[in-house]
Amino acid sequence: MTVVEFIDVLVPVTLVEMMVATGLGVSFGELAAVSRNWRGVARAAVANYLLVPAVTVGLLLLVEPPDPIFAAGFLIVAVCPGAPFGPGCTRLAKGDVTAAVSLMVILAGSSALVAPMLLHFLLPVASGSEMLRVDTGEIVVTLLATQLVPLCIGLGLRHGLPRLATTLQHPANVLSAVLSLALLGTIFVVDFPFFAEIRPRGYAAMSALLVASLAAGWLMGGPGIEHRKALALTTSLRNVAVGLVIATRDFGGTAAVTAVVTYGIFEIAGSMLLALAWGRARWVPGG
């Protein structure tokens, strides 16, 4: 098996395991409580499916990456919310962890349908190439199988066998972290020449996207500092595993995969630093 073939296998395996682990950590009652706050869910949807993709398209048109494929990678990760790191960062920031977990599940589940549709319409605009297209139907099927179904399995175990779910939750989270590190590390080593070619303006654009994502979540967070922190960090952390499933499927072995990993590492580091600062601060904006 070649390294590329290993990555193609590791990507969906990592996503499936992460989604099962995510489902194990939240009950139907917690989901129902957040879902009943339809205004909060609507604000989260606007922040994640409207504001962040819009800012990403604007930045890509402004910066004009030399490779349209690289632009495609950034857009892919921008339309994929619901990263499993959101609740952990929210806990560090002393935010509303229950809301962060529930919003993560809602966004991760809905992105299986919404992300492919957004890519269908936005990819030609952001990349500047009408030739770059994705098969929306096949991506939906892929994400349903690797994202939504495993998530429902985890939720079902939590509901039907809560003791077993509690027992499995910690090992599943540890395995998620190990698989994620192995995946990101492997891609980083294989694509290191691509990483070395990223220019300072590329990192400036990533910084702008991270700040804009945090701001979108904060502004749409509604009343309550704890909930604002939860939505800000949930919005800033895009789901790299889902992005990699799409990128390796339609643009495998290209700079699109590199872009997804690059921004994934960047967003995680930036969000964690902010979460730590928020957790120690006595005052935050809007407080």
What tens digit of pLDDT does each residue of 71-96 get? Answer: 888 899 999 998 888 888 898 898 99
State pTM to two decimals: 0.85
pLDDT cut 70: percent of the chain above it: 91
| pLDDT on residue 29 | 81
Question: What is 185-224 written as a DSSP string?
Answer: HHHHHHTHHHHHT--HHHHHHHHHHHHHHHHHHHHTS-S-
Per-residue pLDDT band at 228 (split at 50, 70, 90): very high
Mean pLDDT confidence for 180-204: 76
What dihedral do alpha carbons 76, 80, 85, 90 form, nearest 10°?
Answer: 120
Give residue 189's pLDDT. Answer: 78
Average pLDDT, the chain: 86
| Residue 274, pLDDT score | 92
Q: What is the pLDDT of residue 49?
A: 96
Per-residue pLDDT at 255 exceeds 70 = yes
Task: Look at the domain 3-279 and name its fold.
Answer: Na+/H+ antiporter like fold (1.20.1530)
Question: First vs last Cα of the chain: how many Å apart?
Answer: 54
286 pLDDT above the threshold of 80: no
Where do the domains of the chain lie?
3-279
Binning pLDDT at 50, 70 and 90, where does residue 115 land? very high
Does residue 231 contact residue 215 with C-beta atoms inside 8 Å? no
Of 223, 275, 246, nearest in space to 12 by CA: 246
